[in-house]
Homo-oligomer: A and B are copies of this chain.
Amino acid sequence: MTRLKFYYDLMSQPCRALYILLKINKIPFEPCLVNLRKGEQYADFFKNQISRFQKVPVLHDKDFKLTENVAILRYLTREFQIDDHWYPKDSKKQARVDEYLEWQHNNTRLNCTLYFIHAYLNPRLMGKEVKPEELAAYKRNMEETLNKIEDLWLGQGTKYLAGDVISYADILAACELEQPLMAGFNPSDGRPKMADWLQRVKLETKPFYDEANVIVDKVIAKQKQT
């Protein structure tokens, strides 16, 4: 029996990021799929047994239950063997990774998610109308975030977000950027540093990046046909 149970849905960006991290570091876990589209996280069983927050990802380490992607990452690095570059022990290098992991919440995560919800989820899957001026505002906020990634983060001249080696910050950021792609918007268009960086991240996380994004890629392929 494995020690870890990992509750996830590959439609969720932070779930994909943790999935890649676990796989690439060969940390064994029992995969526990939670179907967000069916609302399985709202069931009483989920609330009482899995997590009172009713969200994924959730990690169970025996009877220790933990939520929040970044908290889970840090816990895993203390409890398991994870290659140092993903989350460096060196104080200053770790601070650089933390800086992105904290920054992204109200930037990459918030703005790419809001655009995805209003450009794709609501109109395409929920049949909810979105006012064009509201969608334009969400797009503007997202583009502001994308420009900050291009200019303030990658503009420092490093190969990755937090330095010259790949870290968990890069996995998480790349996974977030798949959301606008599903809505037919390519974040790398007109952002050459981002395009190069994304290529590097995907190459360094092979084959797990593609494995984690298998559903996302189907949505993107379908989107291109319409």
Contact = CB atoms under 8 A, between A and B. Distances in A.
Contacts of A75: 91-92, 94-95, 98
Select the residue from A67, A68, A94, A152 with max chain B CB neighbours within 10 A. Answer: A68
Contacts of A99: 66-68, 71
A67 B103 contact: yes
Given A79-B91, A95-B66, A152-B52, A71 B106 contact: no
A72 B64 CA distance: 27
Interface string A69-92: 111001100110000000000011
Instruction: Give the interface size bracket for A toward B.
Output: 20 to 34
A38 interface: no
Given A52-B152, A152-B52, A95 B109 contact: no
A102 B103 contact: no
Nearest to A74: B98
A98 B68 contact: yes
A110 interface: yes
B110 A98 contact: no
A106 B110 contact: yes
A154 to B, nearest CB: 12
A53 interface: yes
A74 B52 contact: no
Interface of A: 52-53, 64, 66-71, 74-75, 78-79, 91-92, 94-95, 98-99, 101-103, 105-106, 109-110, 152
28 contacts: A52-B152, A53-B103, A53-B152, A64-B92, A64-B95, A67-B99, A67-B103, A68-B99, A68-B103, A69-B102, A71-B95, A71-B101, A71-B102, A74-B94, A74-B98, A75-B92, A75-B94, A75-B95, A75-B98, A78-B94, A79-B91, A102-B105, A105-B105, A105-B106, A106-B106, A106-B109, A106-B110, A110-B110
